[in-house]
A and B are shown apart, each in its own frame.
Chain A
């Protein structure tokens, strides 16, 4: 059973554009929703995270939008840059254990 579903699998965006990645979850007990960025050969790096008591969180060019009633959350990358090209994972947690989505391979064209 896939508890966290992520889309799209791959995404190509022009430099300067907005990249949007979506996730949906099933377990309403989840209380922590992070996004990770992973480059080839590296471990996932925490980008930004949100808790379900807020609907949006912004850190620099990265924004999480959270819709508790729809059980969905999304990552928006503003002014996307070639250096943002990586695989992005959403995740959800209730008791420390992270459940990851399948990942989105993002390519930013110069």
Chain B
């Protein structure tokens, strides 16, 4: 595809359920990022992969959040035992270069609502 795709686009989870959010980056992009965007706020960094290596997970808010990119392409963000404060839009972005700050292209996001 031409851009970053994410699925599902919308997810409603009951508090305590586990969820998995998928990101398909632009083909050939080395770097992949996850951000969390609360309503009316700017995106906040969660974690970053270069190929299959998770180089920075400093933004993950708790050990309930886990991300993986096992083959260096598709990535999954998993949230265990969801809480209401996890309700947000989860954005995935990819970038072609790995070593320097460069253009990041965002997907449409997954809107997670925890009830």
Contacts of A94 in B (CB 8 A): 101
Q: How many residue pairs between the two chains, A and B, have CB atoms under 8 Å in the bound complex?
A: 62
Residue on A nearest B44 in the bound complex, by CB: A100
Residue on A nearest B98 in the bound complex, by CB: A96
Instruction: Please count how many residues in chain A sit with their CB below 8 Å of the partner chain's CB atoms.
Output: 25
| Interface size band for B | 20 to 34
CB <8 Å contact, A93 and B42: no
Q: Which of B33, B40, B101, B104 contacts A31 (CB 8 A)?
A: B101
CB <8 Å contact, A93 and B101: yes
**21 A-B pairs whose Cβ atoms sit less than 8 Å apart in the complex:** A41-B108, A43-B106, A43-B108, A43-B109, A45-B106, A46-B104, A89-B43, A95-B101, A96-B48, A96-B56, A96-B95, A97-B33, A97-B48, A97-B59, A98-B33, A98-B43, A98-B104, A100-B43, A100-B44, A102-B41, A103-B41
